[in-house]
Amino acid sequence: MIFTPDLLSSLDILDWGYTEDPIPTSFDKYLKWTAENQHGTLSYLNDHRKELRKDLREVYPDFQSALVFIFDYRRSKKWMLENDHHQLAAYSLGFDGEDYHTALKKRLSVIYEILKEKFENLETFISLDIQPVLERDLAQKAGLGWFGKNSMIIHQKYGSYFMIGSLLLNQKLPVGTKKVDIDHCGQCTACAEACPTDAIDITTRTIKTNQCISTFTIEMFKEVPAPKGFDKSRGEIFGCDICQDVCPWNKKSLRSVSAKLSLKDNFKFLSEWFYDLPKSTLISIIEKSSNRGLRKKLYGTAFDRPGKEGWLKNLKATQNVFLKKHKGED
C-alpha cells in the first residue's frame, strides 16, 4: 500500500487515484465553452494559457504520471447547514480558515517527501486550480468521480464537498489505476432547479459564469449589478453552495461525518465577522478600513480576494435582498 489510512486521514484525503494519460478528454468541450464566451469575466480562462490545458506536458514537460487527491471539507459544511449559515461557501473555512491553496500545497508537499523516500530521483509539479490544468478532468481520469450536471466532480461515496490537488510526476509508479466512473446523475436536475440565477446548463454540464453567484461574490471586485435571480438567494456573500447542498450524493455523504468548524487562532475572527456581527456593523468596519488594511487583516485566508470594494458590493447586495424580503417586495 503506497499510502496508509492514517496518513490519508491526517491530511484530510478522502480518496486518491493515479493516471499516466496527459491528454484531457474534455479539452474540446472547454474550447467550445470559451468560444461561446461562457467564461464571462474570467478572462484568465481564455488568455494565452488556454492552449496549455490541452496536454499536461505543456505545464510540466517531464510528465510521466499524476497522483490526484480529493481533500475533505464536509465537517465545516455540515456545521454550516446545521446552523443555517449560508453566507460563505464551505471550502472557505474548511481548512481551519486557511486559504485552501496554501493548506493543500502543504499537504501535497508532505506526500511528495514521503514518495521521494520510496522512489529515487522522483520530481514533481504541484497542481492546484491556479495552474492551467483541467483538474476535474484529471480527477475523473484518475477514477475519482464523474462530471455532475452542475459541472462538479461527484464521488459516489464522498459527494462533491472536496477540493482537488495533484502531483504531476516525472516517473511512472507501480500503482494500479481505477476504472473511470460512469454518470450517476440519472434524471436528477435538482442542482439546476435550485440555482436562483439559472447559472447551470445541464445539457453541457457547464456553468454560465456571469450568472453564477460565486463569480459575482468572489471574482467581481468592482461595483456591478447582481445576476438576475440573486434576490432569491440565501444571503451568500462569498461563494455559493446551493447546487451542492441539494445534491442527493452530498446528502448521503454528510450522514457519515460530524459537524465541526475548526479555525486557527489567528482566523477565529472570521466566525465573528461573518456569523455574529450584524451585516450593517460589518459594512461599517469595512468602510472604515483601507483596502490595504483589509487585505492585511484577511491575509492567509480565501477572503482577501474581493478587496474592500468587492466586499462592500457583496454585503450591500445581500443587505438589499434582506430588506426587500422583509418588506414583502418582489
Three-class secondary structure assignment of 20-70: CCCCCCCHHHHHHHHHCCCCCCCHHHCCCCHHHHHCHHHHCCCCCEEEEEE
Euclidean distance between CA atoms 144 and 53, whole angstroms: 20
Among residues 28, 47, 129, 276, the one annotated as catalytic is 129
Output the CA–CA distances (angstroms, integers) from residue 176 to 127, 172, 225, in the order listed: 21, 11, 49
Amino acid at 94: G
Non-local CB neighbours of 75 within 8 Å, separated by 6+ positions: 94, 257, 258, 259, 260, 261, 262
Element (H or E) spanning 167, and its range? strand 162-169
137 belongs to the catalytic site: no
Amino acid at 19: T
Euclidean distance between CA atoms 324 and 328, whole angstroms: 6
Question: Which class for 136: exposed (0-12), middle (13-18), buried (19 or more C-beta within 10 A)?
Answer: buried
Euclidean distance between CA atoms 129 and 163, whole angstroms: 9
Euclidean distance between CA atoms 259 and 261, whole angstroms: 7
Q: Which three cell numbers stand for residue 109?
A: 508537499
Euclidean distance between CA atoms 173 and 194, whole angstroms: 43
What does DSSP assign to residue 159? B
Please provide the size of the chain in residues: 330
User: Considering just the CA atoms, what is the radius of gyration of the chain in Å?
Assistant: 20
Q: Which residues form the catalytic set?
A: 129
